[in-house]
Amino acid sequence: MRRRHRRLSVSPELDITAFLNLMIVLVPVLLLGMVFSQVRMIELNFPGMDAGEAPAPEEFRLVVTLIPEGIEIADSDRGLIRVLPTEEAVQDFEGLRQVLRQIKNRVPEKTDVVLEVGQDIDYQTLITAMDTVRSYPAVVAASVVEGELFPDVSLMDAPADRKLAANARLESGEGA
């Protein structure tokens, strides 16, 4: 009679060293190759008040008017602050930024601005104006950061026949 030998059952070991080496190299490469997209949303507060509601007389309401002839900065209650005419079909956003920084230094608690936009203003000019009134680049500890100006932007349509204040005075004969 023959003896049957029982085979010892040994579970085979899986060598995953090569796979782990691949993962160690592949994960950082994939992470570095990723495109990090950033979606930004700009919240807009549209102007308008409830019926019968009026602003307090001491309230400062900053209005920036953007029309093809230039930019006007005004207080809706007290009048015109500065006029920045367009030079060679280019809006003076740097001048706007400087005026708004001066206003922010005088009224630091103010965070809202009304951006009055003319019909003939293109989309890129509108976005540049919105970015300009919201913040400015500042250098802090050798790095560039965004300083806050007026982050609460409300949009409003400028009247179709709106002229720049300096041009309107010249046309009416007041500037002569």
Q: Phi-psi category of 51—alpha, beta or left, where left has phi over 0 and alpha has psi -120 to 50?
A: beta
Mean pLDDT of the region 107-111: 82
Mean pLDDT within 50-74: 72
- How many Å apart are CA 79 and CA 161, to the nearest integer? 19
Q: Is the pLDDT of residue 64 over 90?
A: yes
Q: CA-CA distance, 46 to 52, in Å (whole number)?
A: 18
- Alpha helix locations (H) across 11-91? 17-33
pTM here is: 0.61
For residue 148, the surrounding DSSP H or E stretch is: strand 143-148
Residue 93 — very low, low, confident or very high, per pLDDT cuts 50/70/90?
Answer: very high
Q: What is the mean pLDDT of the chain?
A: 77
